Structure 1
Amino acid sequence: MKKSFGKILGILTLFMANSAIAQSPASPPSPEISAGLEQLRHVEGDWAVTTEFIGDNGSVAATHDGTYSFQWVIPDAVLSGITRIPALKQTSAVLFYLRPKSNEIEMVSVGKDGMLWIMTGKDGEEERTTRDVPTQDGGSMRLRFTRYNVSENSFESRMDWSTDGGKNWTQGNHQVFRRCGAAGLTCSDAIPEVK
């Protein structure tokens, strides 16, 4: 009787262990992908960009073509990028990253003038704003960037500026981004002066 009880206990223990293994996943479930991470994954790559600069009267004052290029520095966390508008001899370096502890997505940009722009928004939203930055006339300026009309291979962006702490906004530019390589588009074809 003791032998068969020991066998039953052994079989029961083995059955329970196998049952627990079968019920537990082989690996922990993957964390939910945030909308901010989806944004980062979406913008990774090379883009042909048309920028319309908006004049004081609200009409398009100038249009220039350029490129944006984003590559992973830390996969699914930080992208580095470079933006170019050849006709303006303008190049900027960009970092685009997630701030999970504060549930934010942030982009920083700096050009040859050394002015560092930090644009912060909530993860899951398509809007980022800067803090108020001092201007040469003694005032301050804040920028707001809004991404919209997002599809697999294109999106649009709008930049607005405010000199009263965000109470009133004026449009500064409108950009159309088209993914290089989509529908046969190459960055050099879209922007002849970029090689």
Structure 2
Amino acid sequence: MSFIVVDYGKSKSGYAVGSVFVSESGTLKTSELLRKIENFDTVVFGLPLSMSGNYSTQTFEVIKFALKVKDRGKRVLFVDERVTTKMAKTFEKKDDDRFSAEQLLLEYIQNPTSAVELRKHEVIEPRQISCDFALFIEVPFVEAFSVRQGIGFSKDLYIAYTLFKNGIFVYRVWRDFCQALESLEKLPESVIMNEEYRLLLSELDIEGLEKIVTLFKVVVK
């Protein structure tokens, strides 16, 4: 069965359709994208990341749109688009959105396990946490949290998006997250952490850490 790959942009997007090769591709207005993908069960998006591997504002724009697609009952996947973007610039493709979509489709066909599925997560029995500054580690932002500022780490796209949407600066690369902690001007009042990642606590150099950590169980909805 054919699927559609999308190189998302604010005003226009590239797309490619196929299953074993590219059978159709083109560029269209992003406002027409939902109608275009309506007949496909699986939608693959290019994931725009910084060259360091961290998130960018564009990353979250794509995730926001992809969540709309998921809410329509589609299976949504992401493929790292850094290589295809570089290829489009190298070959000086005029229609680089279409070219990138074609390359993303071929990449997914050749290596489907490289794709990451977009899954919503929830916190089981969330507890109220209220503070000015907190760290988040692989926990989505939920209504029980009243946090004015913070930084977070998550490799999960949905979790990262919920943090970003609530004003938390979120890292995808653990090393960069740890470096950011070293330059903090004030200590966090709370560390909100997924219990499955508790072993990472040994890598955090924070005074009185054990007194401010709250562990949560996070599951896929």
| TM-score category of the 2 structures, normalised to the smaller one | under 0.3
Higher helix proportion: 2
Higher-Rg structure is 1
TM-score by length of 1: 0.27
